Structure 1
Amino acid sequence: MRRWGPVALKDSVRFQLWAPARTRLYLLIEGREPAPMQKQTDGWFTLDTKAPPGTRYRFQLEDGTLVPDPASRAQSEGVHGWSVVTDLASRPWQAPDWQGRSWEEAVIQEVHAGLYGGFAGMMRDLPRLAALGVTAIELMPVAAVSGARNWGYDGVLPFAPAEALGTPQELQALVDAAHGLGLMVLLDVVYNHFGPDGHYIPLYAPEFLHAETMTPWGGAVAVDRPEVAAFFLENALQWLEDYRFDGLRFDAVHAIGNSAFLHDLAGQIRKRLQPRRHIHLILENEHNDAALLTPGLYDAQWNDDFHNVLHVLLTGEDAGYYRDFAEKPAEKLARCLSQGFVYQGEPSPHQNGKTRGTSSGHLPPGAFVSFLQNHDQIGNRALGERLTLLTDPERLRAATALLLLCPQIPLFFMGDETGSRSPFLFFTDFHDDLAEIVREGRRREFAHFPAFADKASRARIPDPNALSTFEASIPAPGPDGERWEALYRDLLALRAARIVPRLKGATAQGAETTGERAVRAAWRLNDGAVLTLALDLSNTPALPEAQGQLLRREGPRFGAWLAPA
């Protein structure tokens, strides 16, 4: 199988593009005349020529249309501009012997690098996060998108870091600096769709998509084709090898709809990189498919069920997908703590009775990444409100203690640790007709909510394309920010000292409700000790006692105990 993107040869560079729908293709290097490429029998076009790092190039179709390299390692002048020959192999790494950290040690903060001012700005905050007790940062997607501001899920050139965030070398420096501080770096990647602006692949390779299989973003990506599967495998390996990321989070794999591809992708990555490095592969999967979490495939899944049921308990909201968790939420939380998924084949009220999920009680706690908030759960609200504005501090502190001391892998969103009250809004930087489509589409999305039932109320929803929407999303510490940071620091120090060393091999010992909004759960750790956590979010909390040493009490609503073997 041919490689995607430029390949360095001894004295030249091989440019290549899979363009089976074209009979002729030209390579355009800045300052040179277009050069005809040689069409191979398998639909690939190739041309070898001298092109040192920094060379700007594009491909030209028969009708004169100029397109970037879909496997461009860097872009100049945006996703409609020049691709750039890039040397990713010559960095003098400052932490060359870094092999990663075990998954049990993971405490993840999800971040959007653009809200730090880019990769260089993100680097300046790493010492603070390491001192707080974070062991991994997870970057929202960094692939090139149209415009200067975007969540990252509208990427169209998956191999090229977005220019607005920084250069490839600055991204390498960010990962290197994190490793020097003992921090893992994970990256969110999107293999289920391309964004709406700058997606040129269908012009020369319509076979890249299955036009007859529709998704919310258009035709499904044809991962069953060897050329397409290779595109995404090479992309994953680029991030893990050339940038030395410690793992990947695969966005919305339920929209890929091909479990064979997912199995092969994980297998190929692990064959290439393990056992010499710790590599962590995480899924987002609405189907709650426990089979993908088999050892040797994916380490864990983002567990929306944990967030959803705790959101209901913290806020009382029961609209939209929260309907699935509105009935007997304490029982659902108990199941989540003990077995991982709440929905393991039961019908979903929100999805008109469609069943969701598979049995997960046999999986270890570390197979689930739990969170109270993330980019979706804040940003998909019309006004982007955080829990600091939706519940009272006492309850939120108790839920935070549960999150950070639970044997499942904890994740929190940038700003949570300082009690931020800044919104995290949906932002883009589209223009002309597309900007209007996105703006009005965002407002129609919330038309069925009573608070936004009329046009005037929907006008309050911030324009995704406005610079002010992006700027408002930069997290500022809340008025009690120092107190929140102290809570996170104390809880994470306790987790690192008393829980993490005992996590590998831990098993759930069951959970029970102790009230309509109260739960107690226990886990047997690898040395035989039993960890018990209790949470009470009722109006009149009455926290039960448990056997063992009291590790932490957070007001009248949370307690943690450790009983020796």
Structure 2
Amino acid sequence: MKRQHSMPFGAELLDGGGVRFRLWAPGVDAVSLQLVQADGAAELPMTAVAGGWFDLTVAEAQAGNRYLFKLPDGLLVPDPASRYNPEDVHGASEIVAPAAFDWPDGEWRGRPWEEAVIYELHIGSFTQAGDFAGAIERLDYLVELGVTALEIMPVSDFPGQRNWGYDGVLPFAPDAAYGRPEDFKRLIAAAHERGLMVLLDVVYNHFGPEGNYLHAYAPDFFNPRHETPWGAAINFDGEGSRAVRDFFVHNVLYWLEEFHLDGLRLDAIHAICDDSSPDIIEELAAAFKAVPGRARHVHMVLENERNQARYLARDESGRLVHGTAQWNDDIHHCFHVVATGETDGYYTDYAAEPVRLLGRCLSEGFAYQGEASTFAHGELRGEASAHLPPAAFINFLQNHDQIGNRAFGERLAHLASPVAMEAVTSVLLLAPQPPLLFMGEEFATAQPFQFFCDFGPELARLVTEGRRREFGRFARFADPAVRASIPDPNALATFEAGVLDWSAIDRAPHRATLELHRQLLSLRHQWLVPRLAGMGNGDPQLKLVSPRTLSINWTLGDRSLLTLLANLGDEPLAVTPPGGQLLFATANLDADALASGQLPAWSVAWHLHLGDRP
């Protein structure tokens, strides 16, 4: 099967032969194409057409040729819609023939969202190979673990050989450090063969600080009326914004159609500035619904610090209005405070009543639904979310941000006790909300995940100094000598420290942690997943038994009753044991003791009452 998304810009192979080149460059009055072929390079003037566009069809151009656009001042720039840039972000783009790849997954229709168990990974540090081919070698392991969806951190071309991916500047081009576009397609096809969905993280709120040439020929791509941490905002609502919006709408369709992805995670939509209606998030949601072959399941996942529940709305029939689900930072923060006792920084907002707020997340979605945030100096945060289904909220104990934004990239298992880790892990993996694991979490990897990049010397120095200065606000880093110990993001060793050591899964204590995750996910697929569809918001009933103990009931889609009983404190407690079948209890909780109402410190029990809710 062949798949290709036709775009109104970039380099498009024509059915009758040749290539059409098109660039939006409203900031200059002339553009030339520099085409590199086997017999040398040619410079060809492009035709200016209405709306700031430049166009040229070259009959002899073909796949594999490389090209650049030349501006009036002589600057050579890559194609912003390049499908592949083999020599990194400053080099020439390559003409790619999407239809040359034969897809073997013609019967794949995706998976419904209630089946989602998500595994976030970074291609470069997931395996020693650090590329798309290396990731294929671990797919069978993920299936055995109980994962149903990969969520891949951004792969769009970034400067240098290593980067988290959020500094990408060529949104259509998989980075050459990971392989060619065909290699990414092989990874996706191999995942589909094993029943795994593949979601890709995309960044529509900014471009990286190195290699973005748009300012040189398309200043209208940015709107100085909106300031962001990265300078002028991407122009979604000013003059010329139609071309900008189309660029990102086509990026959505490109990944979903040409790469047959099962969904995208839109990074930090709270950092997108757009006063228009419909706003760009609503327009992108419409693009998801317009994907050809939409009979398959396609999911739009959001990251949004503002907790704007409106983007997660369902209609009266339970169908999506906009997004499928959102990463729930609130529940992460609750879990973290409960498990570690840390209360500085943004954890301040969760310090006083972490278990109560954890219960609110599990039963209503967001912890903050319009309340004032102490960390944000009293700013109101969030919208009412209790009406939404659990499927709208992705729960996690760890992700790339929450680990990597720490000075030393410590994993949660490096900070919390084993008994606390077992308790919070069992809450995460058996709750009705789709859970997310960050690579290596399932075996308590010893590797940290530190912030890393590979910028040019001057920018590298500024990034390193800025990161260390940022942590100077914390008491433990007040001493300049301590700040100097924070790993240099540009050092190769910082990246290498985070590459997973897969031999650990056969050693203690990692093996036991892995077996716990496998057990919990097996229970999830056997008992919960078949009952999650159609549950609505689950009519949750939350009870705080003590400041550190909670009980929650949810009504599942088949009217059975799921019950969580969790003591997340250091003191044992006498409780009324729940009814129903015991699905799981932490290792420190004896079934007979539970039946008599004894709940030890850091113990969790899950029960399921089959049939109609009692």
Provide TM-score, normalisation by structure 1: 0.98
Deviation >4 Å, runs of 4+: none
Given candidates 26, 31, 37, the residue that maps to 2:46 is 37
Percent of residue pairs identical: 48
Task: Write the distance in 2 (CA, Å) between the matches of 1:381 and 1:146.
Answer: 23
Q: Does 1:298 align with 2:323?
A: yes
Q: Does 1:151 align with 2:164?
A: yes
Query: How far off is 1:272 after superposition?
Result: 2.5
Query: How far off is 1:397 after superposition?
Result: 1.0
Given candidates 484, 509, 531, the residue that maps to 1:480 is 509
Task: Write the distance in 2 (CA, Å) between the matches of 1:236 and 1:383.
Answer: 34
Alignment of 1:124-523 (within 5 A): 124-224=137-237, 225-258=241-274, 260-273=279-292, 275-294=294-313, 295-476=320-501, 477=504, 479-506=508-535, 507-523=538-554
Query: How far off is 1:215 after superposition?
Result: 0.4
Aligned CA RMSD, in angstroms, stands at: 1.3
Aligned letter for 1:134? Answer: V
Task: Write the distance in 2 (CA, Å) between the matches of 1:532 and 1:459.
Answer: 48
Task: Write the distance in 1 (CA, Å) between the matches of 2:401 and 2:187.
Answer: 24
- Could you say if the C-alpha distance between residues 466 and 498 of structure 1 is closer, same or farther in structure 2, counting changes exceeding 3 Å? same
Query: How far off is 1:38 after superposition?
Result: 0.1
Alignment of 1:44-123 (within 5 A): 44-49=53-58, 50-115=60-125, 116=127, 117-123=130-136
Aligned letter for 2:300? Answer: L
Query: How far off is 1:78 after superposition?
Result: 0.8
Task: Write the distance in 1 (CA, Å) between the matches of 2:45 and 2:292.
Answer: 38
More moved, 6-15 vs 213-222: 6-15
Task: Write the distance in 1 (CA, Å) between the matches of 2:215 and 2:565.
Answer: 54
Q: Which runs of 5+ in 2 are unaligned?
A: 1-5, 314-319, 590-602
Query: How far off is 1:276 after superposition?
Result: 1.3
| DSSP 3-state at the match of 2:105 | coil
| DSSP 3-state at the match of 1:6 | strand
Task: Write the distance in 1 (CA, Å) between the matches of 2:57 and 2:203.
Answer: 31
CA shift digits 1:274-331 (9 cap, x unpaired): 6411000000001101110122310000000010011001111111100010111111
Task: Write the distance in 1 (CA, Å) between the matches of 2:482 and 2:405.
Answer: 17
Query: How far off is 1:413 after superposition?
Result: 0.2
CA shift digits 1:420-445 (9 cap, x unpaired): 12110000011211010011011011
Task: Write the distance in 2 (CA, Å) between the matches of 1:44 and 1:6.
Answer: 14
Q: Could you tell me whether the CA contact under 8 Å between 1:221 and 1:256 is conserved in 2?
A: yes
The residue aligned with 2:558 is 527
Task: Write the distance in 1 (CA, Å) between the matches of 2:288 and 2:147.
Answer: 26
Given candidates 4, 10, 18, the residue that maps to 2:9 is 4
CA shift digits 1:207-233 (9 cap, x unpaired): 000123110111111123110111011
Task: Write the distance in 1 (CA, Å) between the matches of 2:546 and 2:293.
Answer: 46
Task: Write the distance in 1 (CA, Å) between the matches of 2:77 and 2:399.
Answer: 35
The residue aligned with 1:562 is 608
Task: Write the distance in 1 (CA, Å) between the matches of 2:20 and 2:78.
Answer: 16
Task: Write the distance in 1 (CA, Å) between the matches of 2:84 and 2:445.
Answer: 34
Task: Write the distance in 2 (CA, Å) between the matches of 1:188 and 1:541.
Answer: 42
Task: Write the distance in 1 (CA, Å) between the matches of 2:257 and 2:197.
Answer: 14
More moved, 209-218 vs 375-384: 209-218
Q: Does 1:553 align with 2:589?
A: no
| DSSP 3-state at the match of 1:165 | coil
Query: How far off is 1:552 after superposition?
Result: 0.3
Q: Could you tell me whether the CA contact under 8 Å between 1:250 and 1:283 is conserved in 2?
A: yes
Query: How far off is 1:239 after superposition?
Result: 0.9
Query: How far off is 1:474 after superposition?
Result: 1.1
- Could you say if the C-alpha distance between residues 23 and 249 of structure 1 is closer, same or farther in structure 2, counting changes exceeding 3 Å? same
Q: Could you tell me whether the CA contact under 8 Å between 2:549 and 2:568 is conserved in 1?
A: yes
Given candidates 14, 17, 21, the residue that maps to 1:15 is 21
| DSSP 3-state at the match of 1:34 | strand
More moved, 511-520 vs 432-441: 511-520
Query: How far off is 1:510 after superposition?
Result: 2.0
Task: Write the distance in 2 (CA, Å) between the matches of 1:62 and 1:132.
Answer: 56
Query: How far off is 1:543 after superposition?
Result: 7.1
Query: How far off is 1:268 after superposition?
Result: 2.1
CA shift digits 1:464-506 (9 cap, x unpaired): 0001000001123374111111111111111001000100122
Q: Does 1:542 align with 2:573?
A: yes
- Could you say if the C-alpha distance between residues 541 and 187 of structure 1 is closer, same or farther in structure 2, counting changes exceeding 3 Å? farther
Task: Write the distance in 1 (CA, Å) between the matches of 2:473 and 2:342.
Answer: 15
Query: How far off is 1:183 after superposition?
Result: 0.4
Q: Could you tell me whether the CA contact under 8 Å between 1:399 and 1:535 is conserved in 2?
A: no
Q: Could you tell me whether the CA contact under 8 Å between 2:234 and 2:273 is conserved in 1?
A: no
More moved, 502-511 vs 190-199: 502-511
- Could you say if the C-alpha distance between residues 333 and 98 of structure 1 is closer, same or farther in structure 2, counting changes exceeding 3 Å? same
Q: Could you tell me whether the CA contact under 8 Å between 1:110 and 1:140 is conserved in 2?
A: yes
Aligned letter for 1:539? Answer: D
CA shift digits 1:65-101 (9 cap, x unpaired): 0000000000021100010001122322222210100
Task: Write the distance in 2 (CA, Å) between the matches of 1:85 and 1:240.
Answer: 20
Task: Write the distance in 2 (CA, Å) between the matches of 1:159 and 1:485.
Answer: 36
CA shift digits 1:517-537 (9 cap, x unpaired): 222111101111000112212
| DSSP 3-state at the match of 1:411 | strand
Given candidates 26, 36, 59, the residue that maps to 2:32 is 26
Aligned residues: 565
Task: Write the distance in 2 (CA, Å) between the matches of 1:130 and 1:46.
Answer: 47
More moved, 468-477 vs 12-21: 468-477
Task: Write the distance in 2 (CA, Å) between the matches of 1:244 and 1:541.
Answer: 51
Task: Write the distance in 2 (CA, Å) between the matches of 1:418 and 1:227.
Answer: 46
Task: Write the distance in 1 (CA, Å) between the matches of 2:572 and 2:302.
Answer: 36
Q: Could you tell me whether the CA contact under 8 Å between 1:462 and 1:469 is conserved in 2?
A: yes
Q: Could you tell me whether the CA contact under 8 Å between 1:524 and 1:531 is conserved in 2?
A: yes
Q: Which runs of 5+ in 1 are unaligned?
A: none
Aligned letter for 2:13? Answer: A
